[in-house]
């Protein structure tokens, strides 16, 4: 018997069917679905191997007096957690306990984590790894539009696009089935890719399919200001749209006036003629789109957002889209390509430090009152805003910081910036509790490890990059000794003396989530498992009670009270650290086709691990010769935060002032990335770190 569900990886959430064979092996096939049309990438095809991985956790583990992890009963493990939580809070107060969640958790689990923090633990210290992923794009969309949904239109709208400007997103590697939706733009010569590296996506622009704009790392904001300058000063803006649907235009004119194409070239390295021709191409496509033909879309990804000016860079991209009249105009559009599987839903229902379910602000008295009524508690008992992820991680183990941390669905020992410092902070904790299905690098440091069900063994919902809410269905029962995470959280809440009950039934939790979200920006109140089981009726939020959902946002008005979008002036500031000076190169981190996030799952799939067994440093051949590093040899990459040894692959895909290193592996890119963060979003500076690269002497090289 086959079970209809969705892939466990990225936010494309490709539809799949799982079939359990008589021998216990599970096979996967792609289902016909708008996002993937039956296609899967290498990660999706091999995902069932995770279900029978030999190192699957099937028993709770407790760290003994000998310093080693040993199997234990569930009662022993949960008692250890409860006793540790109570000791920490008795000694240091409620905020001594923290929760670190994930954009890979189901909506039900993300919602329950937020409720557990605020009701059972009474702590404000909760955040999640989506702070590393979507926070700048979300902050920019909220202040411009009054609402944040990654793609405010169905992905299939791109099928008719004549021009797509894709900034900082390597979809050909990170979500390959999406590339089919760019076919029309490529056929029209309209795929415009902005990336300092000639990524797999950038190569799709070859042979007249488009253009690759290759700015220096960290200069995307200047490039966008230059494009806006041309739009304004060459009279290319949609004046009617700007007048009727936006506010702030005069301030934008002033803010871009100094960014003429020749200056942009000096700062970014992108030729002035290409800046000007790109702006004109976008404007021409936008005009066609308003007539219903081969329109224009602007899409952003992590490459332009994971900077200390990421919110302003995403804002500049929105300003460009608004000047062109794209958002809310059928045939045109603006959006951001969400990364994690539930990156959208994960930030909507309460595991962010400053939010309550329904994408409500935790400081809003009306929001607190509404959610408190659903939970059955008094509004004053709900804590205020906590700390964003990077800031919270820096407090671990400190006297006035988090002393006990619960980690769910995340591996910050590899995925967090300055990962070496994070691992040291984890060791300072009085108690580290990790719920996972494998002994990840973070779980390996834990005092308590809780084995929980995997994607094919649980019921729940996910919200994909379009804001489409999807059903994840159980195809298999988890192995003996493994518990569903909702059941674990409900058990913990009861043992901690929660004043209100916690359900372990996913449908009941979703029904409560829907009530809690009612009236919020991300309103799910009209949804239920019964509604979601009918995939012929797609469920795009907001899906208010009595409605049929909202596939396309902003058609009539934006979410601000006056219905207008905000044009917000932004300016180029100082980078987190000086790049390409004193013999350094700029290190850019990113993803590989074969791996996902910290690699805790994909590094356990034989086919994927064999294809990409470890990190390689990509260097331009000219740079490698200058540094005396032959192709294939070992190099040492270092800065004040750490040192890693990796093998080098020379390629002209990277600029001479740039190096590329993936972050899916321990001892890789995030040993070197900075904890500097965007002041608005809390996003870390992942995409530009100054590093020294030197050849490793032959006598000290590893095998």
| Statement to judge: residues 318 and 332 lie in one domain | yes
**What is the residue-averaged pLDDT of the chain?**
96
The answer to the question of residue 302 being in a domain is yes
Stretch 235-252: mean pLDDT, rounded? 98
Give me the DSSP letters along 259-288: --HHHHHHHH---HHHHHHHHHHHHHHHHH
The answer to the question of residue 695 being in a domain is yes
| Statement to judge: residues 186 and 289 lie in one domain | yes
Stretch 46-51: mean pLDDT, rounded? 95
Measured distance CA(236)–CA(276) in Å, rounded: 11
Whether the ω angle into residue 285 lies within 30 degrees of 0, i.e. cis, is no
| Statement to judge: residues 69 and 147 lie in one domain | no
Stretch 287-312: mean pLDDT, rounded? 94
Tokens linked to 207: 């042979």
Task: Look at residues 684, 506, 702, 496 and name the one whose alpha carbon lies nearest to residue 589.
Answer: 684
Tokens linked to 216: 């220096």
Helices (H), 343-468: 343-346, 365-375, 389-394, 412-415, 419-428
| Statement to judge: residues 590 and 685 lie in one domain | yes
The answer to the question of residue 171 being in a domain is yes
| Statement to judge: residues 123 and 144 lie in one domain | no
| Statement to judge: residues 196 and 294 lie in one domain | yes
Identify the CATH number of the domain in which residue 210 sits: 3.40.228.10
Tokens linked to 482: 């493994």
Identify the CATH number of the domain in which residue 638 sits: 2.40.40.20
Q: Which of 337, 372, 391 is the last residue of a domain?
A: 337
Tokens linked to 194: 């902005």
Q: Which of 471, 505, 539 is the last residue of a domain?
A: 505
The answer to the question of residue 189 being in a domain is yes
Name the pLDDT band for 577 (thresholds 50, 70, 90).
confident
- Indicate the helix (H) or strand (E) that contains 693: strand 689-695
What does DSSP say about strands 616-619 and 360-361: parallel, antiparallel, or unpaired? Answer: unpaired
Containing domain of residue 288, as a range?
A: 135-337
The answer to the question of residue 567 being in a domain is no
Name the pLDDT band for 700 (thresholds 50, 70, 90).
low
Tell me the per-residue pLDDT of 13-38, one tens digit each, with 9 for 90 and over: 999 999 988 777 899 999 999 999 99
Q: Is the pLDDT of residue 227 over 60?
A: yes
The answer to the question of residue 562 being in a domain is no
- According to DSSP, the residues that pair with 210 across neighbouring strands are 191
pTM of the model: 0.96
| Statement to judge: residues 228 and 372 lie in one domain | no
Tokens linked to 294: 């081969």
| Statement to judge: residues 195 and 102 lie in one domain | no
| Statement to judge: residues 331 and 353 lie in one domain | no
The answer to the question of residue 184 being in a domain is yes
Name the pLDDT band for 257 (thresholds 50, 70, 90).
very high
| Statement to judge: residues 8 and 71 lie in one domain | no
In a 3-state reduction of DSSP, which class is residue 398? coil
Tell me the per-residue pLDDT of 494-546, one tens digit each, with 9 for 90 and over: 999 999 999 999 999 999 999 999 999 999 999 999 999 998 899 999 999 99
Q: What pLDDT, on the 0 to 100 scale, is given for residue 637?
A: 97
- How many domains does the chain contain in total? 4
Stretch 203-220: mean pLDDT, rounded? 96
Task: Look at residues 330, 351, 467, 324 and name the one whose alpha carbon lies nearest to residue 406.
Answer: 351
- According to DSSP, the residues that pair with 649 across neighbouring strands are 618
The answer to the question of residue 559 being in a domain is no
Name the pLDDT band for 110 (thresholds 50, 70, 90).
very high
Q: Which of 477, 505, 533 is the last residue of a domain?
A: 505
Contact indicator for 303, 431 with CB cutoff of 8 Å: no
Q: Is the pLDDT of residue 703 over 60?
A: no
Tell me the per-residue pLDDT of 383-409, one tens digit each, with 9 for 90 and over: 999 999 999 999 999 999 999 999 999
| Statement to judge: residues 354 and 473 lie in one domain | yes
Q: What pLDDT, on the 0 to 100 scale, is given for residue 22?
A: 75
Q: 243 exposed, middle or buried (CB, 10 Å; 0-12, 13-18, 19+)?
A: exposed
List Cα–Cα distances, 678 to 283, 386, 574, in angstroms.
30, 17, 12
In a 3-state reduction of DSSP, which class is residue 217? coil
Identify the CATH number of the domain in which residue 477 sits: 3.40.50.740
Contact indicator for 441, 414 with CB cutoff of 8 Å: yes
**CB within 8 Å of 363: residues ≥ 6 apart:** 354, 384, 385
Tokens 């769910």, located at residue: 408
| Statement to judge: residues 313 and 373 lie in one domain | no
Measured distance CA(173)–CA(41) in Å, rounded: 9
């Amino acid at each position: 018997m086959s079970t209809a569900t969705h892939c466990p990886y990225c936010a494309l959430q490709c539809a799949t069917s799982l079939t359990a064979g008589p021998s216990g092996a599970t096979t996967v096939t792609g289902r016909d679905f708008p996002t993937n049309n039956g296609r899967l990438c290498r990660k999706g095809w091999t995902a069932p191997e995770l279900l029978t991985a030999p190192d699957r956790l099937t028993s709770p583990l407790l760290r003994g007096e000998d310093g080693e992890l040993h199997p234990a009963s569930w009662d022993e493990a949960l008692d250890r957690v409860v006793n540790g939580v109570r000791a920490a809070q008795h000694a240091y107060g409620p905020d001594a306990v923290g929760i670190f969640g994930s954009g890979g958790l189901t909506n039900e689990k993300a919602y329950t984590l937020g409720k557990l923090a605020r009701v059972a633990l009474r702590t404000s210290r909760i955040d999640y790894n989506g702070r590393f992923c979507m926070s700048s794009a979300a902050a920019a969309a909220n202040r411009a539009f009054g609402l944040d949904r990654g793609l405010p239109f169905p992905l299939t709208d791109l099928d008719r696009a004549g021009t797509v400007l894709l900034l900082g997103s390597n979809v050909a590697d990170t979500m390959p089935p999406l590339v089919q939706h760019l076919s029309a733009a490529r056929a029209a010569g309209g795929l415009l890719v902005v990336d300092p590296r000639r990524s797999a996506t950038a190569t799709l622009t070859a042979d007249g399919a488009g253009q690759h704009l290759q700015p220096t790392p960290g200069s995307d904001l200047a490039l966008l200001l230059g494009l806006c300058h041309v739009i304004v000063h060459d009279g290319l803006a949609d004046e009617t749209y700007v007048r009727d649907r936006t506010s702030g235009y005069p301030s934008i004119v002033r803010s871009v006036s100094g960014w003429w194409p020749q200056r942009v070239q000096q700062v970014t390295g992108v030729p002035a003629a290409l800046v000007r021709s790109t702006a004109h191409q976008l404007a021409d496509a936008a005009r066609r789109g308003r007539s219903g033909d081969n329109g224009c879309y602007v899409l952003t990804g992590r490459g332009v957002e994971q900077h200390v000016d990421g919110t302003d860079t995403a804002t500049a991209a929105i300003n460009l889209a608004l000047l062109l009249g794209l958002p809310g105009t059928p045939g045109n559009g603006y959006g951001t390509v969400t990364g994690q599987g539930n990156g959208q839903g994960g930030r909507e229902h309460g595991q962010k430090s400053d939010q309550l379910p329904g994408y409500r602000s935790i400081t809003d008295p009306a929001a607190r009152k509404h959610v408190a009524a659903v939970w059955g508690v008094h509004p004053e008992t709900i804590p205020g805003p906590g700390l964003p992820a990077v800031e919270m991680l820096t407090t671990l183990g400190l006297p006035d910081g988090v002393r006990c941390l619960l980690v769910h669905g995340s591996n910050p020992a590899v995925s967090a910036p300055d990962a070496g410092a994070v691992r040291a902070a984890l060791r300072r904790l009085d108690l580290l509790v990790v719920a996972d299905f494998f002994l990840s690098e973070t779980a390996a440091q834990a005092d308590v490890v809780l084995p929980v069900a995997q994607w094919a063994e649980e019921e729940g919902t996910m919200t994909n990059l379009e804001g489409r809410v999807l059903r994840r269905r159980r195809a298999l029962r988890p192995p003996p000794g493994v518990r569903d995470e909702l059941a674990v959280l409900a058990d913990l809440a009861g043992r901690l003396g929660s004043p209100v009950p916690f359900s372990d039934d996913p449908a009941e939790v979703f029904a409560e989530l829907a009530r809690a979200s009612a009236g919020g920006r991300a309103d799910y109140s009209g949804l239920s498992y019964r509604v979601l089981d009918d995939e012929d009726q797609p469920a795009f939020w907001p899906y208010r009670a009595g409605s049929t959902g909202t596939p396309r946002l902003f058609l009539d008005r934006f979410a601000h009270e006056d219905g207008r979008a905000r044009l917000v002036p932004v300016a180029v500031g100082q980078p987190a650290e000086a790049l390409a000076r004193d013999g350094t190169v700029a290190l850019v981190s990113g993803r590989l086709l074969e791996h996902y996030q910290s690699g805790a799952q994909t590094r356990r799939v034989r086919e994927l691990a064999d294809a990409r067994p470890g990190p390689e440093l990509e260097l331009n051949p000219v740079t490698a010769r200058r540094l005396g590093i032959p192709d294939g040899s070992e190099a040492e990459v270092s800065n004040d935060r750490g040192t890693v040894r990796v093998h080098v692959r020379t390629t002209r895909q990277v600029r001479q002032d740039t190096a590329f290193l993936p972050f899916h592996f321990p001892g890789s890119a995030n040993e070197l990335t900075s904890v500097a963060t965007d002041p608005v979003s809390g996003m870390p500076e992942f995409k530009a770190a100054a590093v020294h690269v030197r050849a490793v002497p032959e006598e000290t090289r590893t095998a």
